[in-house]
A and B are shown apart, each in its own frame.
Chain A
Amino acid sequence: MNEERKKQLLCELDKICSILGPSGFEWRVRDYIRAEIEKNMPSGAELFTDKLGGLYLKIKNEGAPKLMLSAHMDEVGFMVTEITERGELKFGSVGGINPLVLCSKRVVSENGIKGVITSKPIHLQTKDERSERTEIRKMRISIGARSRQEAEKYVSVGDYFTFEHDFRVLSGGRIASKALDDRHGCLALLNAIRELAKSGKKSRYELYFAFTCREEIGVSGAWCASELVKPDYAIVIESKAVLDLPSVGEARAVGALGEGALISYADGGAIMDRELTDRLVSVCEKNKIKYQINRAISGGNDSSNIQRGAHGARVALISAPSRYIHSSTGIIDYKDFEAICDAIYSFITAKED
């Protein structure tokens, strides 16, 4: 393993995960990615955006089949729905979050105001309340304000919050952070763009790197991406929720951390294109890139809408097996992430099948 590359990628992963970008508020992530791409554009490349705020880099290759590689910029988060008389913030989730990962988590607003998600302490709960999950509607964000009037100086109804950023590397190069879903995918694309610019290699495809919006709220940004690009082929780079805990059987676990890039022939949202997926697998084989095949059909992502958008596209899905996604602390394995980076770059620069 290239330690220098690892250090640099981890450092940048930390940075890109730190950016607040819940669905509908992706612009800070987009601005970061755009600035990074502009530092070193591959030749024949062109940047543009769609009307939802998605960002695209096209690398011209007239007459060649169009291949779109995509990752979504948005993360799950929260929106303030009410400020109470006492200065507490009621909120709703942006994207699907298991309420069990919310109580006691530190959160931060788009303006940098820190808060803690609290609810009635267990000591004061009734028997009924103790026997059920605390609903998000019964939680609140405490920012320390004493009144609505004071809270309104710092926060407005409609403001976004996300989990506090606390990036760390656990034993064996496991990465723990918020927003790894799908910023690691964004970084894998960014990395491929840089390597293309550096090597000057040409792809046999006309390449479109797409950074999409609103994946977490119904994969809707992908509609616009497919309409705008009308790709022949599309590879989606994602986080795939796995549950490889000791108590969970291998079949239900979906995949395992550290076993390589997770390639899906199907998931809960789409049955992928067999031929394109086979080609992805064979590129991994040829280049000795560690991969694993998705073992259980679950979850969905941009691949479903890209497959069915515009005139339809042949899609494949490559993911980092991810634990505890949609929480303050998802975990992926650096080795899997690096395998994805290598697989994508190898795929787009492969001479022929």
Chain B
Amino acid sequence: MEKIRELLKKICFLPTVSSRELDYKSELFALAGDCFDEMYEDSFGDLVLVVKSKKPSAPRLMIDAHFDVVGFMVSKVHEDGFLSISPIGGVDARVLGASGAMVYGKERVEGVFTSTPPHLLKDSKSLPKIEDIYIDCGEDASLVEVGDIVTYKPHFTELLNNRVSATGLDDKACVCAMLDMAMHIDKERLNYDVYIVISAQEETGKGGARFIAYDIKPDIAIVTDAFFARGEDIENCDSIEMGEGAYIDASAVTDVFLTRGIIKALSAREIKLQVACEPSRTHTNNEAISIAGAGVRTALLGVAVEGMHTPSEIVSLEDIKSLSGALLEIAYGEWL
């Protein structure tokens, strides 16, 4: 678990706001280590790590997790240290107030999302709009320019039961699981050439995963992404239990035979997967990948994340380990 904890922490501290994934290519490749036969990137910003099977002309298994996180772009630098911002990806303006920010200007500049104290609230009903929220960088923001990227201030907070809170766990928890899985591959048992894809711009809906799938032409693809953790006011049908292992998604946009085959085969090996149901769509990369080229059979797996898209998402390291184990079994399996 310690290895996963350290790996996850390092991945979470990379500020890979959508479209800036390639800036952290060398850091990510360094974290991936030397268990890969090939590492490359495409023009869109997707990173690919390949582990080849010992078998000649093995079919291709693509496993995807997106590298990007939601963030902001500086839209105006005010004279007195305030920045106006535009969101990149889906951001809930109601969770920003008083959160820490990190601005990637000429140097890293720390700031705070502005908020209104109760003393000066005009009314307690209206909702904050992103246009009314600034980043307060202190006395001046001369190190910042329009177009600079902003993230939530990175942190890594340990909770009970091997759960941690950090920024960008959607989907870095799954990036971590993929890398951990790759590090444990026994090539002798591999039935596929495994293409691990750390894809760009999922959060903006531009789906780098689709282009890279078009290039790789996988025989099957596994997409890994975060799903809603269960909670007091969250219905069971919308969520999965944190700490109970990885989930697999049942949906009209995943391949029903592949999905059920994985559930059955893994259950025979006593790897229990939770089943998340999204009857219609998943709004993850699996949709984009499944229609790359003439179509790709996909399954969707992942882990529970609490507080999705907030500066303090929560994940269970045990679930990441479980996902890593499930992916390994899939790579050793027969699915064609």
Contacts and interface: CB of A to CB of B under 8 A. Distances in A.
A and B are interacting partners: yes
B44 interface: no
A170 interface: yes
A90 B232 CA distance: 10
Interface stretch (B8-16, B125-133, B184-192): B125-133
Contacts of B239: 124
Which of B120, B228, B233 has the most chain A CB within a 10 Å cutoff?
B120
A104 B136 contact: no
A298 B309 contact: no
B233 to A, nearest CB: 5
A342 interface: no
A241 B118 CA distance: 9
Contacts of A6: none
A329 B98 contact: yes
B49 interface: no
B295 interface: no
B141 to A, nearest CB: 7
B120 A133 contact: no
B120 A323 contact: no
Contact of B309 (A97, A122, A325): A122
Contacts of A105: 98-99, 312
Interface in A90-144: 90, 96-98, 100-101, 103-106, 113-124, 131-134, 138, 140, 142-144
A103 B100 contact: no
Contact of A98 (B82, B118, B233): B118
B261 interface: no
Interface string A163-178: 0101010111110100
The 4 closest A-B pairs by CB, nearest first: A172-B139, A170-B138, A144-B159, A144-B160
B72 interface: no
Which of A103, A115, A138 has the most chain B CB within a 10 Å cutoff?
A103
Contacts of A133: 94, 124-125, 127
Nearest to A125: B92
Nearest to B111: A170
B159 A123 contact: no
Interface in B293-336: 306-312, 314
19 contacts: A88-B232, A101-B98, A103-B95, A103-B307, A114-B157, A122-B309, A134-B94, A138-B233, A150-B161, A170-B136, A171-B138, A171-B141, A173-B138, A241-B120, A245-B114, A247-B134, A323-B114, A331-B112, A333-B139
Contacts of B109: 171
Nearest to B310: A104
Interface string A303-315: 0000000000000
A212 interface: no
A171 B311 CA distance: 22
A298 B228 contact: no
Contacts of A325: 117, 119
A86 interface: yes
Contacts of A48: none
Nearest to A154: B160
B81 A243 contact: no
A299 interface: yes
A266 interface: no
Given A98-B117, A171-B140, A324-B114, 15 more contacts: A100-B97, A100-B115, A116-B307, A119-B233, A120-B231, A143-B160, A146-B243, A171-B141, A173-B138, A241-B120, A243-B116, A247-B132, A268-B119, A298-B119, A327-B97
Interface of A: 84, 86, 88, 90, 96-98, 100-101, 103-106, 113-124, 131-134, 138, 140, 142-146, 150, 154, 164, 166, 168, 170-174, 176, 241, 243-247, 252, 254, 257-258, 268, 298-299, 323-329, 331, 333
Interface in B61-109: 78, 80-82, 84, 90, 92, 94-95, 97-100, 109
A31 B82 CA distance: 38
A interface majority secondary structure: loop
Interface string B149-183: 00000010111110101000000000000000000
Contacts of A86: 230-232
B48 interface: no
B121 interface: yes
B35 interface: no
B250 interface: no
B80 to A, nearest CB: 7
A104 B95 contact: yes
B112 to A, nearest CB: 5
Contacts of A134: 94
Contacts of B98: 101, 105, 324, 327-329
Contacts of A171: 81, 109, 137-141, 143
Contact of A144 (B95, B125, B161): B161
A132 B127 contact: yes
Contacts of B84: 246
B110 interface: yes
Nearest to A103: B95
B234 interface: yes
Contacts of A268: 119
B238 interface: yes
Contacts of B228: 121, 123-124
Which of B117, B140, B238 has the most chain A CB within a 10 Å cutoff?
B117
Nearest to B238: A124
Which of B111, B116, B134 has the most chain A CB within a 10 Å cutoff?
B116
Contact of A172 (B128, B134, B140): B140
A101 B100 CA distance: 11
B332 to A, nearest CB: 31
A150 B161 CA distance: 10
A245 B143 CA distance: 19
Given A154-B160, A171-B138, A241 B119 contact: yes
B73 to A, nearest CB: 18
Contacts of A258: 139
Given A84-B232, A120-B233, A101 B310 contact: no
Nearest to B308: A121
Contacts of A140: 231-232
A302 to B, nearest CB: 14
